[in-house]
């Protein structure tokens, strides 16, 4: 499982109406990259920022049929939390269920076709208790 002391990278692409085209999430931990690949980017495709900010985590687990897969749920939680924090930061708003102070926008590019936002996401304040990778393999 990933360590809770590393940041994540997030690249968000919006269309000119600020609807999600896609996002790419990656977390660097234990000298390797962990990517989302949970289906959440496709799930959000075409949705408005406001709609994404209101997503319920447990409803997404059900919609993406992840019941029982704790590792995928953990990665989904990181993606869900990071995307919502990043979008709230981009809008400059406070949302009751989002810790937008974790997000650091590194660049925003506006083109004639899209808006690209690059961000660094600091680790969430609360993560499930996990063992470091080095201890988890020694059973």
- Candidates 58, 57, 30, 60; CA nearest to 42 is 60
The per-residue pLDDT for 95 is 78
The per-residue pLDDT for 133 is 47
Domains identified in the chain and CATH numbers? 8-125 (3.90.1010)
The per-residue pLDDT for 96 is 78
User: What pLDDT digit, counting tens, does each position of 34-63 carry?
Assistant: 666 799 999 999 999 999 999 999 999 999
Let me know: does 20 contact 46? Beta carbons within 8 Å.
Answer: yes
β pairing state of 32-35 and 20-29: antiparallel
DSSP string, 9-64: EEEEEE-TTSBEEEEEEEEEETTEEEE--SSHHHHHTT-BHHHHHT--HHHHHHHT
Weakly modelled stretches of the chain, pLDDT under 50:
1-2, 128-133, 135-139
């Amino acid at each position: 499982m990933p360590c809770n002391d590393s940041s994540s990278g997030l690249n968000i692409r919006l269309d000119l109406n600020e609807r999600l085209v896609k996002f790419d999430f990656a977390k660097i931990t234990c000298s390797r990259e962990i990517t989302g690949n949970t289906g959440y980017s496709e799930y959000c495709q075409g949705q408005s920022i406001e709609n994404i900010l209101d997503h319920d985590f447990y409803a997404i687990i059900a919609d993406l049929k992840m019941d029982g897969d704790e590792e995928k749920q953990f990665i989904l939680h990181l993606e869900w939390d990071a995307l919502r924090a990043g979008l709230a930061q981009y809008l400059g708003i406070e949302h009751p269920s989002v810790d937008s102070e974790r997000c650091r926008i590194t660049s925003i590019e506006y083109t004639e076709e899209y808006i690209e936002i690059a961000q660094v996401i600091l680790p969430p304040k609360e993560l499930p208790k996990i063992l470091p990778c080095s201890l988890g393999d020694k059973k």
